[in-house]
Chain A
């Protein structure tokens, strides 16, 4: 588990950077058509730096969603772009008192 300590982090290709956000989203959507992922996620954003955001189409419990999303990221890395990092759309604080601070989660 320690062999990658000095390995460069996966980076996006120039091909990915040169594509428009719409093109990237189309590729991501196409990559999941007919797969088990299609039922669970919808790609929402695909940034220049390889950060890809998805929304969950339905609740997935904590014991399953990590596996599902790591599998999906691996699928995207193998079929679309190795530099992709997959994230879900973030959620803001549900604590009503703390919410008075007006902090928004930036992503």
Chain B
């Protein structure tokens, strides 16, 4: 198989980067960080709740239980956005450890972010994301990515819900995704719509049906990514088996057409769960917040186990005060110290993986990050 995989995928709406990073478009932040300045995250990934109606077998939230759960109120969610704006955060993705679309704060949060000029993206199973919510939020979002574990109803229901007989969840999701695709077309929205499969080796037979489903739905892309696991393998992901699926993954990519691109996150899949870096710089650029309100550098550290890296809770205090506190920077400095090792002390392939690898290569002189030239890629503020 080829190892020269394309980082930037040309779509009908512009170039899409899903299997790499966009730091070269944020050189001000990179240079300030390298000079030792305390930088604001370019992007924040978060959830508005830890709750979810699904029970995906690959869900990393199963190993992210913090010390306590706070209920996120609408007011504190909107104040959080005000604080993001005040310090210069450019984008927010609602992914993290819960299904944000079921939170009462969801619609006002998306709308307020748009008012503030903060880009918003959202990952969802779309089960509770019906026409009313779609119409209220879709015009304000940069992208929406639907979790679709498999291309066939029975497999989908088995992986994401109680068993293969519960195909009603597949039908509901597909109806809502189709509605969003049509709504986007009808209103000529710039939002990117994609579906994502989190690939575990036991789902190998679902690769091609998933790719075909992406094409049939007419979404902008279908992406297949690795499954994260914690540092002790609690989810039982066998990274040695990914190589056996390379052929099917390449075949899936070949199903791309002008409307729909099928994309494989090769870099993460081929890393087999072992990062090249020891220190973990990515959270300074891409911070994560739990649906419990917990602020920790990364979702890798939400579990109570990592309490030493818990910084605060935005439902109890203003985020801007946390960001300006010494405790925020102490946690970041700890991850950059010899006391911490990303290869052994955290789960595999976090959301900050691409930028962490790039920053590590940058300061080691292996591959310097240089300013981008030419047209900006899509979703440039989502690192």
Binding site for B on A (CB under 8 A): 1-2, 4-10, 56, 59-63, 65-67, 69-70, 73, 77, 85-95, 97-98, 100-101, 103-107
| Closest residue on chain B to residue A96 by CB atoms | B55
Instruction: Show the binding face of B for A, using Cβ within 8 Å.
Output: 33-34, 36, 50-57, 59, 61-69, 162, 230, 232-235, 277-279, 281, 284, 293-295, 303-313, 316-317, 322, 327, 330-334, 336-341, 344-345, 360, 363-364
Q: How far is the CA of A97 from the CA of B59 in the complex (A)?
A: 12
Contact of A62 among B312, B332, B337 (CB under 8 A): B312
Of the residues B230, B311, B341, contact of A63 by C-beta under 8 Å: B311
Report whether B308 and A73 are in contact in the complex, using a CB–CB cutoff of 8 Å.
yes
Where chain A touches its partner, the secondary structure class is loop
A9, B340: Cα distance in complex, Å: 7
Once the chains bind, are B345 and A5 in contact (CB under 8 Å)?
no
Is A5 touching B327 in the complex (CB atoms < 8 A)?
A: no
Our pick among B54, B55, B313, B340 for the contact of A61 (Cβ within 8 Å) is B313
Chain A residue with Cβ nearest B162:
A100
Closest residue of chain B to A86 (Cβ to Cβ) is B308
Contacting residue for A105 out of B36, B293, B303, B308, CB 8 A: B303
**What B residues does A67 contact at CB under 8 A?**
327, 330
Known: A85-B345, A97-B53, A106-B230. A66 touches B364 (CB 8 A): no
Closest to B334 in A: A70
State in angstroms the CA–CA spacing of A70 and B326 once bound together. Answer: 13
Residue in contact with A66 in the complex, picked from B56, B232, B309, CB distance below 8 Å: B309
When the two chains form their complex, are residues B65 and A106 in contact, meaning their CB atoms are under 8 A apart? no
User: Can you name the residue of chain B whose Cβ is closest to the Cβ of A8?
Assistant: B338
Q: Is the CB of A4 within 8 A of B63?
A: no
Contact between B61 and A66 (Cβ–Cβ < 8 Å)?
Answer: no
User: Which of chain A's residues has its CB closest to B330's CB?
Assistant: A70
Chain B residues with CB below 8 A from A89, complex form: 304-305
A63–B52 CB distance below 8 A: no
* CB closest chain-B residue, reference A62: B313
Is the pair A4, B364 in contact by a Cβ cutoff of 8 Å? no
A95 to chain B, nearest CB (A): 7
Q: Is the CB of B311 within 8 A of A98?
A: no
Whole-angstrom CA separation of A62 from B62 in the bound complex: 20
